[in-house]
Amino acid sequence: MKVSVAVLTPILALLLAASPVVAQQLPRLSNGKPDMSGIWQVLNEANYDLEPHIARHSLQMREGPVNPLPAIPTLRLGAVGAVPGSLGNIVGGGKIPYTPEARALKEANRESWIDRDPEVKCYMPGVPRATYMPMPFQIVQSENDFFIAYQFASAVRDIYMDNPGPSQVDSWMGWSVGNFEGDTLVVDVTGISDATWFDRAGSHHSYQLHVVERYTMIDKDHIDYEATIEDPLVLTEPFTIKMPIYRRIEENARLMDFRCVEFVEELMYGESRRYPLPR
């Protein structure tokens, strides 16, 4: 009987994660906890759409004479603005368990992607989207501190390991409280602004979003990432996404400057010029 590589891969990953030999080889701090410090990046299509999807002509579509076509604002992007297909990142497959009203809003968001996606305007991406943006992020860790800096929009997260209590206000990157369960870092995230999205396909949430992340090192260069998402205002039940995170191993790996606010000034405020430029 033949067993496919697709079936073996997750099984082998689990065996490796549970292996005492692999556990001993993990980089560790003086307190014995895994040291995740470094430059990391996700390699998948989650930022396009967390749900399984076929390749699409464009990030924003319109009705055509036979089949849907790229919307006028994205037409000239050609293949650069196309959406690659994906099997999705939702554990168990399927779609995000939205209520009918929330599902309708997701579809409306996708139909108006260029005007509604906060990524287009360089707003900070929120959690969990920051993890799978198509840019690297850096973890800085000590025995008592855990800090994440993201290249996109220079977003940052300070993960509080000494639980200071609930967030007093909502913010783009939320309020993160962490603790280790064995070798797994568990981060409880609340207080995330409802202006953030999960992806470019219009997947949204409310102010009641609650995310529980789990970071588990498989080996020194790979982290198994899970995020369980709860939101009683728009979801019929919680769902979990899962993906590997890869260490950038180049000798000169680092975060580059991508303060994209200045890149979108013309888009957002160009019409306010005394003499507006052609648009």
Q: Which fold has domain 5-52+87-272?
A: Lipocalin (2.40.128)
Q: Which amino acid is at 104?
A: A
pLDDT class for 5, splitting at 50, 70, 90?
very low
* Mean pLDDT over the full length of the chain: 93
Measured CA to CA, the distance from residue 182 to residue 180 in angstroms comes to: 6
Q: What is the pLDDT of residues 123-179, one digit of tens each?
A: 999 999 999 999 999 999 999 999 999 999 999 999 999 999 999 899 999 999 999
What is the average per-residue pLDDT within 167-195?
97
pLDDT class for 259, splitting at 50, 70, 90?
confident
Give the burial class of 106: count Cβ atoms within 10 A of its Cβ; 0-12 exposed, 13-18 middle, 19 or more buried. buried
Confidence (pLDDT) at 13: 55
- Whether 29 and 141 have beta carbons less than 8 Å apart is answered as yes
Q: Which pTM was predicted?
A: 0.89
CA angle (111, 116, 117) in 5-degree steps: 100
All residues at 6 or more sequence positions from 18 whose CB lies less than 8 Å from its CB, including other chains: none
Q: What is the pLDDT of residues 64-97, one digit of tens each?
A: 999 999 999 999 999 999 999 999 999 999 999 9
Q: DSSP states of 42-84 as a string?
A: --SSTTT-SS-B--BS-SSEE--SSS-EE-GGGGGGGGGG-B-
Measured CA to CA, the distance from residue 166 to residue 149 in angstroms comes to: 22
Alpha helices in 215-264 (DSSP H): none
CA–CA distance from 237 to each of 76, 132, 199 (Å)?
39, 23, 19
